[in-house]
């Protein structure tokens, strides 16, 4: 099973400044720390393509020194609040050349790695029956 994650994290939230890396509960690096831990610990995930224009997020993710994480410094024209979903889908397809793609966000932190693995297994089983 080759499941790759596309994790877009743009800098410059308009409503909550630094929302992706702002300390949250007991997590010094906030939502990005929670999400990367979940994805790293999910056994069915092969690679995590983290696409961001936020230097702090790139620095934090790099400090994890995990071979699952592929860092991509996203260009500014794909990092605007005006960027279309279609443009990001094309961007994900340019980065991830093979395997299935799971698109997720740091702003959905309430799914642990066990639940993620179970869901991925069930989805893969369902799609193989089609």
Whether this model's pTM surpasses 0.95: no
Sheet holding 3-9, edge to edge: 69-73, 45-52, 3-9, 100-103
- Arithmetic mean of pLDDT over the chain: 87
Is the pLDDT at 130 greater than 50, yes or no? no
Is the pLDDT at 7 greater than 90, yes or no? yes
The string of pLDDT tens digits covering residues 14-44 is 788 888 999 988 999 999 999 999 999 999 9
Is the pLDDT at 46 greater than 90, yes or no? yes
Quick one: average pLDDT of 80-97?
84
Asked whether the beta carbons of 44 and 87 are under 8 A apart, the reply is no
In the chain the domains, ranked by start, together with CATH numbers, are: 3-129 (3.90.550.10)
């Amino acid at each position: 099973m080759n499941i790759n994650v596309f994790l877009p994290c743009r800098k410059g939230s308009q409503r909550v400044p630094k929302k992706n890396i702002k300390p949250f509960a007991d997590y010094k690096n906030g939502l990005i720390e929670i999400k990367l831990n979940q994805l790293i610990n999910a056994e069915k995930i092969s690679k995590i393509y983290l696409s961001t224009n936020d230097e702090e997020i790139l620095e934090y993710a790099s400090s994890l020194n995990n071979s699952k994480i592929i860092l991509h410094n996203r260009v500014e024209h794909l990092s605007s609040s005006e960027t279309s979903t279609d443009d990001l889908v094309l961007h994900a397809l340019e980065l991830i050349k093979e395997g299935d793609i799971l698109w997720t966000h740091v702003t959905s932190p309430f799914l642990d790695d066990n639940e993620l693995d179970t869901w991925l297994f069930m989805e893969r089983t369902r799609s193989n029956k089609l």
